[in-house]
Amino acid sequence: MPDEVIRRRVVVHGRVQGVFFRHSARERATAHGVAGWACNRPDGAVEAVLEGSPETVERVLRFFETGPPRARVERVEVQKEQPQGLSGFEIR
């Protein structure tokens, strides 16, 4: 089904704040046409929501496994959610 849209909530743990993780995530998501948002959490993790086709969301999720060069990803949690029709990608 080519018009299928999925939504994933992602929490990335490790050294992921102060290393341009959210900005890099926005660049990657925008390049692949994935909508959503990313924010820093008080516990030091980065949380994000991604909406798009299964293929494009998977590409962005692969980026979250390593992040930008200065990041050190220790663990990535991914949850399935119902799409909400987001557009664009924002940093919160």
70 labelled catalytic: no
For 36, phi and psi rounded to 5 degrees?
Answer: 145, -150
Set 9, 15, 40, 59: catalytic member: 40
Strand blocks (E) in 1-92:
6-15, 35-40, 46-52, 72-81, 89-91
The catalytically annotated residue of 8, 9, 15, 22 is 22
Q: What is the CA radius of gyration of the chain?
A: 12
Hey, which residues are catalytic here?
22, 40
